[in-house]
Structure 1
């Protein structure tokens, strides 16, 4: 909600985003975590995935003027997402735990 307020204050009215093509997905890291070895009920699995895609992104103001990005130019995007799942719960599902921002090199 805080980010939405900031965008509105900056004059953003509309964000247009498209995932144009998926390049590949690769596993970066997988690990098992037990915060308390004495209590295995809290253990969970965690994986970090790298996902490369081409995307288009544009931001428009209330007058439909372009503020950022371009719907004409595709960007190559590398996302790093962390997923996790509880190990001891019978109906446990993978959930998105976070997104890692890695500066381009």
Structure 2
């Protein structure tokens, strides 16, 4: 449960911000839409950075490194088009996980690898 704070909060911020971004992009029209999308990006990045900044001492665990490497390779191969999973594409599209939010997942994986 303790590891959920370090992994769960950044992942939660990523998923919620991706869903909020997708909802605004889909259902809001007009000139305010672009402003809201920029605000969501800025707030999401700011909260994501805050959630990664923990001042407590952590112990090295191998499973974090393995998960980070596997997820990074999986996302890279998926973006390169090496494989296609229709259900995964549907889930990612539902949450609005595109290039920007995949970059956030890359940042999370890099943080876990170094941590």
Note whether the superposition's TM-score is higher than 0.5: no
TM-score, normalised relative to structure 2: 0.19
TM-score, normalised relative to structure 1: 0.21
Work out which structure has the larger RCO, using CA pairs closer than 8 Å and 6 or more positions apart in sequence.
2
Which structure shows the bigger proportion of residues in helix conformation? 2
Which structure shows the bigger proportion of residues in strand conformation? 1
